[in-house]
Amino acid sequence: MNKYDTFAKTAVELADIGGNVLLKYFKNINEKTVESKGIGDWVSEADRASEDAIVDHISREMPTHDILTEERAQIVRSEHSEFRWIIDPLDGTTNFLRGFPIWAVSVALEQRISKQNRWGTIVAGAVNVPILSEIFHAAKGSGAFRNGVQISVSPERPINECLFGTGFPFRTRHLVSEYSRLLAEILEKSADVRRPGAAAVDLCYVAAGVLDGFWELDLAPWDTAAGSLIIKEAGGIVRNFQGGDDFLTTGDIVAGSPSNYTELLETVRRHFPQARDVDKSIR
């Protein structure tokens, strides 16, 4: 057991706390409590209740840790705090509100490297998919697991046999044309593409070898923090659209198994050769 394993267990516990709250709301949402944050982007009473339960537990049990959440944004960022929890209390809110069963709770722990760096290192994470009774977790250096069983990314296979995942750019609709051309090229090359609508789940399915790769534009750090660690610990690769490491900053992510990642990245990079000027490093 390494020093991060205990944190991974805590991440699982936190994701389970949020998942249990959400199950009480699923298919019983009061539409009057649902608010729009933008086109295709919603927040509900369920999001807030899940977040409150997770944050309350962290504040009570780990009061020196900072917290970054989707709905409350930055709660604390102390110069003296080494750790920060990054939380998505409900990834896939639209799915949740419509009764589509692919939604999750994502919890990750970031360890600060220096005050100057935008991001530290993600050292523990968990993603709970309650309807499917699946909890994925990882600790840095200890591998990745689904319901306690170790997982790994998919084996080598030709790209025409690869199944990829993606998400549509609903927050960056001005890039739909570029994205559509990219999607068309990957559809022509691959076996098929899936778009379930919850990035944290997609990333975990890359880690488990269900998907051979994944790409998406303009995700938030709470969408990707836990899933990116789970992929890395399952033997996969995670980068931005140009092959850099700062996917948490830009929100543009390409992930896959080592044998299939390079061709996916090269295809994405042809359509998006320049990094977007986006900084999601909330401090």
Residue 82 tokens, joined: 């080494």
Task: Using the Cα atoms of residue 5, residue 78, residue 91 and residue 207 in order, give the sign of their dihedral.
Answer: negative
* Full-model pTM: 0.92
Note whether 231 and 238 are within 8 A (CB). Answer: yes
Q: Which domains does the chain have, with CATH numbers?
A: 5-151 (3.30.540.10), 159-271 (3.40.190.80)
Of 203, 120, 171, 204, the closest CA to residue 276 belongs to: 171
Give pLDDT, residue 132. Answer: 96
Q: What are phi and psi of 66, to 5 degrees?
A: -80, 165
Note whether 19 and 103 are within 8 A (CB). Answer: no
Q: What is the pLDDT along the chain (283 residues), one digit of tens a residue?
A: 788 999 999 999 999 999 999 998 887 765 555 554 444 444 578 888 999 999 999 999 999 999 999 766 655 556 678 999 999 999 998 898 888 999 999 999 999 887 667 789 999 999 999 999 999 999 999 999 999 999 999 999 999 999 999 999 877 778 889 999 999 999 999 999 999 999 999 999 999 999 999 999 999 999 999 999 999 999 999 999 999 998 999 899 999 999 989 999 999 999 999 988 887 765 5
Calpha distance 216→214 (Å, rounded)? 7
Give pLDDT, residue 41. Answer: 41
Calpha distance 262→8 (Å, rounded)? 29
Residue showing tokens 């995942």: 165
Q: What are phi and psi of 266, to 5 degrees?
A: -60, -35
Q: What are phi and psi of 256, to 5 degrees?
A: 180, 180
Residue 159 tokens, joined: 């790209």
Would you give the end-to-end CA distance of the chain in angstroms? 31
Residue 151 tokens, joined: 């997982």
Residue showing tokens 């900072």: 66
